[in-house]
Structure 1
Amino acid sequence: MHLFYTRYKNIKPKDMIIQYLTTEFEQEVNNTRKLLQAVPEKDIHYKPADISWTMGELAQHIATIYYWYVGTFTEDVYDMATDHLERGAPDDIKATLELFEKNVARARTALSTLTEEKLRDHWTMKAGERILLGPLERGIVARGFLFNHIYHHRGELIVYLRATGNKVPGLYGPTYEDSKKM
């Protein structure tokens, strides 16, 4: 508790939510980076079932979600049909890591524009005339759609890595395998 208090004691109460989101964002960017760096080229085409993405497609999707922070935090209506989403080659993990870093930088910039008031504004995602999500408060979208969406797909990627016999990096401490070595 002392570390928490020391870190946040000078933050005005109305800015706490923004600080919480920013801190979580930065911690989880590091975890996502570790996980994407663990994807080996040799298993990039692995997929657990015919209907599943390949490991490369899943990694690329995770990198792409960070781009959506821009539309979520800077627009009231984000139209995927008019956006020029950069994807790259899903069979090149180095290209996916580069895309991830570019999208994280964009997301950081968008996140820095947030205010408590803006988190309460309504937001909608659409593709042309079709509503995909919303209208919802932007803060709910940030947690429920952006943050949790990344966590969900990272969990899938961990399963892919384990299924192919690859090492999973510790995201919240040592992995099971690491703890057995201690």
Structure 2
Amino acid sequence: MIVQTLLQEFEHEVASTRKLLQAVPEKDINFKPSPVSWTMGQLAQHIATIYYWYTGTLTQDVYDMAADRLERGDPADIQATLALFEDNVEKARAALKTVTEESLQVPWTMKVGEHTVLGPLPRGMVTRSFLFNHIYHHRGEMIVYLRTTGNSVPGMYGPTYEQEQAMKNTAK
């Protein structure tokens, strides 16, 4: 039951993430809200990269980030990031389709070399927190970046405030 729910949520949220990444404009790709923040392009690339981590999380009991290499390209190239996103979504979808109710209970650990950074935790918990919720967190940041730079934010769970206002104005 939970596996089917995860697959449905994944597909629904991929569409929302795609809309958000497609809203990132080239003109503001180097915007960063503070000196310690990522640029808009780096944040977009990070969101696209999280989908890559599904494979290591769902198919390995110990995922060593130091041993895993992903060619990301230039974070200032939003088209490259969109292509990275689409490629990683396909890999994530394939990995999710291998999951069983039982495999969600298996302990999972993330390492960077010999250093354990997460776990051991049940794979199902890691799937919700490290994968799903992690993406949602960074999508929220991206919405702030877009609004701060005066860009439109796509409606992901219904119309945005701006879309509602436009509908009210056209109804008058």
TM interval, short-chain normalised: over 0.9
**CA–CA separation in structure 2 for the residues paired with 1:99 and 1:86:** 9
Shift of 1:179: 0.7
Residue of structure 2 equivalent to 1:30 = 15
**CA–CA separation in structure 1 for the residues paired with 2:59 and 2:141:** 29
**Counterpart selection for 1:170 from 147, 150, 155:** 155
Residue of structure 2 equivalent to 1:114 = 99
Shift of 1:84: 1.3
Residue of structure 2 equivalent to 1:97 = 82
**CA–CA separation in structure 2 for the residues paired with 1:94 and 1:87:** 12
**Match status 1:147 vs 2:146:** no
Structure 2: tracts of 5 or more residues without a match: 168-172
**Match status 1:46 vs 2:31:** yes
Identity %: 71
Residue of structure 1 equivalent to 2:46 = 61
Shift of 1:165: 0.3
Residue of structure 1 equivalent to 2:60 = 75
**CA–CA separation in structure 2 for the residues paired with 1:25 and 1:86:** 23
Aligned length: 167
Residue of structure 2 equivalent to 1:11 = none
Structure 1, residues 23-72: CA drift from partner, whole Å, max 9, x if none? Answer: 00000000000000000000000000000000000000000000000000
**CA–CA separation in structure 1 for the residues paired with 2:73 and 2:127:** 25
TM-score where L is the length of structure 1:
0.91
**CA–CA separation in structure 2 for the residues paired with 1:84 and 1:55:** 22
Residue of structure 2 equivalent to 1:10 = none
**CA–CA separation in structure 2 for the residues paired with 1:130 and 1:87:** 24
**CA–CA separation in structure 2 for the residues paired with 1:27 and 1:134:** 28
Shift of 1:86: 2.2
Runs of 4+ in structure 1 displaced over 6 angstroms?
none
Residue of structure 1 equivalent to 2:69 = 84
Structure 1: tracts of 5 or more residues without a match: 1-15
